[in-house]
Amino acid sequence: MLFLNRHASLQRFALAALMLVMAAYLAACAEAPRWASDDAVMAARHVHGGAPELTLVTIMNYRSGRGDHAGLFINGSERVIYDPSGKWELAEIPERNDLHFGMTSVAGASYYLSHVRDTHYAVVQRLQVSPEIARQAKQIALLNGPVGPARCAATLSALLQQLPGFESIGRTWFPHNLMNDFAQIPGVQRYELHHDTPDLLEEIYRVQQPL
Q: Do 2 and 70 share a domain, yes or no?
A: no
Examine residue 40 and state whether it is found in any structural domain, yes or no.
no
Looking at the 3D structure of the chain, how many domains does it have?
2
Torsion of CA 127, 132, 138, 142, to 10 degrees: -160
Cα gap 103→72, rounded to integer Å:
12
Examine residue 166 and state whether it is found in any structural domain, yes or no.
yes
pLDDT digits (tens, 9 = 90+) for 109-124: 999 999 999 999 999 9
Cα gap 44→159, rounded to integer Å:
24
Q: Do 69 and 172 share a domain, yes or no?
A: yes
Q: Do 5 and 84 share a domain, yes or no?
A: no
Q: Do 9 and 81 share a domain, yes or no?
A: no
Examine residue 168 and state whether it is found in any structural domain, yes or no.
yes
Cα gap 144→159, rounded to integer Å:
9
Examine residue 41 and state whether it is found in any structural domain, yes or no.
no
Residue 31's pLDDT is 56
Q: Do 95 and 20 share a domain, yes or no?
A: no
Residues paired with 191 in a beta bridge: 124
Q: Do 74 and 167 share a domain, yes or no?
A: yes
pLDDT digits (tens, 9 = 90+) for 57-100: 999 999 999 999 999 999 999 999 999 999 999 999 999 999 99
Q: Residue 3: which domain range?
A: 1-29
pLDDT digits (tens, 9 = 90+) for 29-44: 445 688 999 999 999 9
